[in-house]
Structure 1
């Protein structure tokens, strides 16, 4: 069963099943749903897992959570991993240093780690909507990769309509084209004047808005979300951390039961939360090392215990998926550490006063599991160039993790670095790093330049984007989002009724 991070308001059930939590992700007082208990894994589980495929391990973990989804549905959802580059190895582990392994999470249809969760999650949510014979509006806010992955998984799904918000100018050309060229009539993409935090705040406001929900109810439409505020995303993000350790076992790079470090480029903290839950379940993670860019609010929190938005503005960097100041999934860690009352107190302070401060004891608890560091764009480009010269191509977000590898690894243990996106999503930055210049390349120029320079193929799903017509070209002020959504719903309803 699932419970709420800020306590219960008396208007909702005290505990809900998984299906309810993913269909209705907004909990009491603006909080989030979390599992009441986490299942346990041990060395026996891991030893058996070392003889299994990714899909088999995924099903084992889902069964341990005892979620209220039929076995057949889970199997069909997990079978979507067969569409990845290598069905037998959807998340290949590449060794780039003696003790450093890259967990490549981007081999799905949109070339980003969001596919790992959104492909099966989208299937399950769509199945539930059809089973209940209900219409759902799925909201998503994106800093670049959640949007394409959400749109891909829900395209042409019955009983589902999707509205995706993205910050105009805040994504790469490839990411923008992956969204704005979508042809499926059940999808609507809206650019906003603002940054990702503005898009995410708009999403959270709509999820919590009684008047918005009432208007949807009048149209017989229910409301849900595809961001990692939805635990349907998080449950699948736990699994690839477990599989990374299994892959180390398979390669004889770690002894069964011995610890390892995991390094995560963190924006909205969902990836880090997945690792934290895996650690609590029994995965022998020594520490979760968090890498940020110069929007280093998570580094501040983990090193000082202060989360402070005052006098702070979001800075645009060459690792845009981490250009985030309000990381939603930190709340779930706070709840797990300090309980609902304290979590509500901290989150209320963040909303009202734009900051909160952990006590010395609370900070010590946080640091039992996490350490953090940040790097600037120049460091990232140096790492991209260095590893490209060695024959390995990593994107700008992955490159930030080398700072954590160099500075935070205190023990001689293997390290697994989560690589969250393919190089193709950020080609101009990549080409600048490789060419060691600051020329302003278009994505198309940079993709072709890298392909030629490094003798690497551009995936067809990326190269063909530039020939597709842009269908969704609306850019609006934040205040106009709700009206845009209802215009879309009215239009699609009219077409369906004809």
Structure 2
């Protein structure tokens, strides 16, 4: 295990050095003053060519070593074996769409979304640590659609971990919802709440800090942690696939590249930022937003203002977020703990903060951002399909941004965050030209078959659906009740209590 003098961890709202090891921060993500654990000073690799010669899992080990993240070797090795269950031996294939534009496909895991890239090894690692420590854990996750399925999948049937998922009722696609509500493992519980993802995320954070709730869990033999990207271990695993991009591009004698990332909670983009600090030749990190354009507002104006904003349900629901947790870690990396604490407390108390002109200029040296409407999202899916590549609605935002940036004459990589089948009705609408409102009576299973018919009649491809997606429609929904968010602590305690009796 990691020793205290090896840790590189810092706290986003405190200058007090933390004596927590990485494992301790992973198991208990609460930092001082309501902040987050993050990486302190990062030393770049001296020899990237050596790193590029390694396999995906070996690269992960090297990155963890460079960041002073030390686990018992057999625990990490066992966790990384979860990638053997991915649908592609390449784990994260880099696909050329056309000259100077590539797509990094992060959806080949068991739940067909990029959250598998971190949550499959994370869940196995945490489960192994719980077994080693002879402790039991309750793991919370809040989801806008993809974190929940990946968390539940990863912890299903664990003997030492119970996992709970909180999701906004009506705020996910049908496939995303079914991936959660049909879970039948006895150690899993799903809570659909009345509200949006921001409420789900704030509920999770309040539960982590709720002393009465934590005391009840301890009385019943459970420690509390979280699977969301408030957990620094999630971010650590998300750094790795950016090295996969650089490794594959190096085979084509390409070095510097820009990444275009569909983002709402900013964890995916933060992984790219830390990869840049580790030495990757990333020229720009470009954030593609949907109609919930808070990140675009922030990176273009320096203002983070949600006072007059209401969260909108869009065609790319996993990005329907206004309170982006991981912006806090970016602020710390650039401006330090005191300024981060000042800005985040302003956001929490006033729903607003404002960077100085110099601070904004500093961010804009690396970051760009642009938002796209739902209508544009459909057009992006259609245009990508016409070029021979099929994408989901989230990736469409990145694709559109990349097309706008083509005149910059640089190698661009869009981050494809989900398989198109998870958003069948939206994709079918884009490819068929039918109004989404006219498809309300159509379920996703029918839409999937219609998409496949379009694909096979228009593309020279062998695109097939994994039977897992189609089988989801035959499973019984178990977790169907809806809840008020402010009552979840009571319902969770009842669930834990019933399990103990």
Contact map agreement 1:264 1:288 (CA 8 A) in 2: yes
Which of 445, 465, 475 pairs up with 1:458? 465
> 1:225 deviation in Å?
0.2
How do residues 47-196 of structure 1 correspond to structure 2 at under 5 angstroms?
47-87=49-89, 89-196=90-197
Worse overlay, 129-138 or 305-314: 129-138
The SS at the match of 1:20 is helix
Partner Cα distance (2:33, 2:181) in 1:
34
What are the ranges of 5 or more consecutive residues in structure 1 without an aligned counterpart?
A: none
> 1:26 deviation in Å?
1.5
Which of 39, 60, 63 pairs up with 1:35? 39
Are residue 416 (structure 1) and residue 420 (structure 2) matched?
A: no
The SS at the match of 1:223 is strand
> 1:307 deviation in Å?
0.2
Contact map agreement 1:137 1:163 (CA 8 A) in 2: yes
> 1:228 deviation in Å?
0.5
Partner Cα distance (2:88, 2:55) in 1:
12
The SS at the match of 2:103 is strand
Alpha-carbon displacement from aligned partner over 1:356-401 (angstroms, at most 9, x marks no partner): 0001111111112211001111111111112223321100000001
Contact map agreement 1:186 1:492 (CA 8 A) in 2: no
What are the ranges of 5 or more consecutive residues in structure 2 without an aligned counterpart?
A: 1-6, 457-462
How do residues 40-439 of structure 1 correspond to structure 2 at under 5 angstroms?
40-42=44-46, 44=47, 46-87=48-89, 89-250=90-251, 252=252, 254=254, 258-408=255-405, 411-438=408-435, 439=438
Contact map agreement 1:8 1:28 (CA 8 A) in 2: no
The SS at the match of 1:339 is helix
Alpha-carbon displacement from aligned partner over 1:163-215 (angstroms, at most 9, x marks no partner): 10000000111111100110111100000000100100100111112222122
> 1:410 deviation in Å?
6.2
Alpha-carbon displacement from aligned partner over 1:470-489 (angstroms, at most 9, x marks no partner): 11111111122111111211
Partner Cα distance (2:468, 2:68) in 1:
36
Partner Cα distance (1:225, 1:278) in 2:
23
> 1:64 deviation in Å?
2.1
State the match for 1:475 in structure 2. 482
Contact map agreement 2:42 2:67 (CA 8 A) in 1: yes
Contact map agreement 1:185 1:492 (CA 8 A) in 2: no
> 1:76 deviation in Å?
1.3
Partner Cα distance (2:138, 2:377) in 1:
38
> 1:108 deviation in Å?
0.5
The SS at the match of 2:287 is strand
> 1:279 deviation in Å?
0.6
Query: Residues 65, 219 of structure 1: CA spacing in aligned structure 2 closer, same or farther, 3 A cutoff?
Result: same
Partner Cα distance (2:99, 2:405) in 1:
17
Partner Cα distance (2:270, 2:326) in 1:
7
**TM-score between both structures, scaled by the size of structure 2:** 0.94
Partner Cα distance (1:448, 1:117) in 2:
30
Partner Cα distance (2:118, 2:41) in 1:
21
Partner Cα distance (1:94, 1:266) in 2:
20
State the match for 2:3 in structure 1. none
Are residue 14 (structure 1) and residue 18 (structure 2) matched?
A: yes
> 1:130 deviation in Å?
1.3
Task: Please report the RMSD computed on the Cα atoms of aligned residues, expressed in angstroms.
Answer: 1.4
Partner Cα distance (2:310, 2:80) in 1:
40
The SS at the match of 1:150 is helix
Partner Cα distance (2:88, 2:141) in 1:
28
The SS at the match of 1:170 is coil
Contact map agreement 1:291 1:404 (CA 8 A) in 2: yes
The SS at the match of 2:109 is coil
Partner Cα distance (1:409, 1:484) in 2:
51
Alpha-carbon displacement from aligned partner over 1:213-268 (angstroms, at most 9, x marks no partner): 12222222111000011011100100101111111112x150xxx32101100110
Contact map agreement 2:64 2:70 (CA 8 A) in 1: no
Contact map agreement 2:229 2:267 (CA 8 A) in 1: yes
> 1:80 deviation in Å?
1.3
Moved over 6 A (4+): none
Partner Cα distance (2:57, 2:347) in 1:
40
State the match for 2:446 in structure 1. 445
